[in-house]
Structure 1
Amino acid sequence: MKFTNHKALDYFLNDLFDRYKENVPAVKIITDALINRGVINAQDEIVNDHVAFRTLGVPHLGIQSFEKIFLKHGYQKRDQYYFEEKKLNAYWYAPPSEEYPRVFMSELMVNELSEETQQIIRKYTDPITSDPVDNLDLDDAVQVAAFFHKPLWELPTKADYMALLAESEYAAWVIYNRYYLNHYTISVHALKEGYNTLSDFNKFVEQLDIRLNNADGIIKTSPDGLLSQSSTVAEMHEVAFADGGKMKIAGSYVEFAERAIMPEYRHLSPDEIKPVHRREGFETSNADKIFESTYTEQTQF
């Protein structure tokens, strides 16, 4: 990703993305194919609609802690979303300028889970007795970049991971992956014709033998018809647990978004259209199914 205005923000977003793409082969496969087909010349030309993070809603952690990093660097907190079945709370954050991605931040509402699951989560998080973000110099880009990959709690046992997986796949993902970047998002409407609709882009991705999340259909569209989203199925990685157990678990994935032009701006010519003229924000029904890109029902095949 290529940014220009905020040096610290540039540094830690690029560091985050570089580590993420090393562990999500679909990023390079898709980018290389777009380059080979002459759609783009380099990764930097892809417009990143948003990046997403998952957190645990427990004392000293969760959104109230994690958001401080982005608020410090010019992001503005916007709409709240609630996912009743998955027991999640979320917000999105508008960037300081349009060349930066939106941020979508969610947290597991731990108090709403079974007592057994709460005990497992708190076994790992209770030793955290103060907000770790408060100990950071948020102007120190290197320190902030390192924080995203810092293990704030002990590596889980396989037994604990499996117990969490049985009740909340989100909880299991976070307890192992921590604050690792969950996904980045390609703005397909910013690409050239033939690739600038979600339908066309999905066909292109499937030609690369990349499997797409089909929960409630491959394309998830908002009720107003103006925001459509799709995603790959999460990459699987064999990992080791604290008790020596090993298994393949879900890592991160790639999302694709198409933001349609708002009705009041459809009279504008194509060269007049700017990001401000397109549908903003997110949609609970879309995001609910995008979350499942890391869920067993999607990854087990």
Structure 2
Amino acid sequence: MTLDQFFAKLWNDYTAMTPQAQRIHDAFVADGEAIINDHVAFRTFDRGPITLANLEPHLLALGYTRFEPYDFAAKKLRAYGYLPPSEEQPRIFLSELKCDELSTTAQRIIDGLVGQIDAARVGTPEVMWAGRLWDAPSFEDYQTLMDESEYAAWLSIIGLRANHFTISVNHFQTYDSVEKVLDKVESLGLGINASGGRIKGSPEVLLEQGSTLADRAEFTFAGGQVEEIPTCYYEFAKRYRASDGRLYQGFVAASADKIFESTDVRGARHAG
């Protein structure tokens, strides 16, 4: 599988879950901008056959190299950034939930989910857009996870797929700042994640980021209960050059911590 094929599959799955992304993409293209992906992010559990260590080989086989580790103590996450084999390809951000930091009840729910995974399905890159590899949890279990970790609850029903794509603002001509991009997105009637401010980061930390609030879709939980929940979102990033003249390649943990909240149920509801 080539990188272009890999990202085409990811994009098709992502936009099916995130209709706003195609709308935003098309709106900027219509205004003459070229869409270059800064990075794509994934979420997973550190249990069963879908741990970061199990998924990483697919990225390495595509030519990616592990760059920097990140830790999000409050959200109970660890992550790595990965650099692409060529500059025109997106970086990748892969995070996993530290399940042993959750309650025994939450761990039992997660173990019940990952215990259903057919390990053979994890052996190919297609696992990165496979979605849920287990039966839908009950809405009660979803809420139990939500009380401890929005990330865990999201993953329990959404499964493995691109959590977000990210437009590189560096490649824009007219919308050459994150603020201009966010204003354009809002003009389309879409909400912005304001947790930690509309723009996370600054030129001083060499990275500015902003994102939409996640789209919402109806899901059928175990027992037939149907609920509307957040799916995925679109992010926008502008990178700055370090003192050595090189463009910053990493991620800013404090900013990423707030970007995670783009899928927060409470934030999405509050914003309507």
Q: Is the 8 A contact 2:29 2:35 kept in 1?
A: no
- Return the match for 2:86 from 90, 97, 106: 97
The residue identity in structure 2 corresponding to 1:244 is: G
What SS does structure 2 have at the residue aligned with 1:243?
Answer: helix
Per-residue Cα deviation, 1:118-141 (whole angstroms, up to 9, x for no partner) = 1111111124485753x43xxxxx
Contact 1:60 1:132 in 2 (8 A): no
**What TM-score, normalized to structure 1?**
0.85
The AA in structure 2 aligned to 1:90 is A
- Structure 1 window deviating more from structure 2 (122-131 vs 164-173): it is 122-131
Distance 1:152 1:23 in 2: 16
- Give the conservation status (yes or no) of the 8 Å contact 2:213–2:268: yes
Corresponding residue number in structure 2 for 1:182: 163
1:298 to 2:234 alignment: no
Supply the distance in 2 between the matched residues of 1:261 and 1:202 (Cα, whole angstroms). Answer: 22
The percentage of counterpart residues that share the same residue type is 39
Change (3 A) 1:146 1:132: closer
Bigger Rg over Cα: 1
Tell whether 2:23 aligns with 1:29: yes
Q: Which residue is 2:46 aligned to?
A: 57
1:124 aligns with 2:124: no
Q: Which moved more, 1:201-210 or 1:280-289?
A: 201-210
Give the 3-state SS of the residue equivalent to 2:160 in structure 1. coil
What TM-score comes out, normalization by structure 2 length? 0.93
| 1:18 Cα deviation from its structure 2 partner | 1.5
In the TM superposition, what are the counterparts of 1:72-91 in structure 2 within 5 Å? 72-91=61-80
Structure 1 Cα separation of the partners of residues 116 and 98 of structure 2: 19
Question: Which residue, 37, 41, 50 being the options, matches 1:48?
Answer: 37
The CA distance in 2 between the partners of 1:61 and 1:22, in whole Å, is 23
Give the C-alpha shift of residue 12 in structure 1.
2.0
Gaps spanning 5+ residues in structure 2: where?
A: none
Unaligned runs of 5+ residues in structure 1 are 1-6, 137-143, 266-276
The correspondence for 1:204, drawn from 165, 168, 184, is 184
- SS of equivalent residue, structure 1 residue 263: coil
CA contact (8 A) 1:238 1:248 kept: yes
| Aligned-residue RMSD, C-alpha | 1.8
Asked if the contact 2:131/2:161 (under 8 Å) is kept, the reply is: no
- Change in CA separation of 1:202 and 1:151 when aligned onto 2, cut-off 3 Å: closer
Matched residue pairs, number? 270
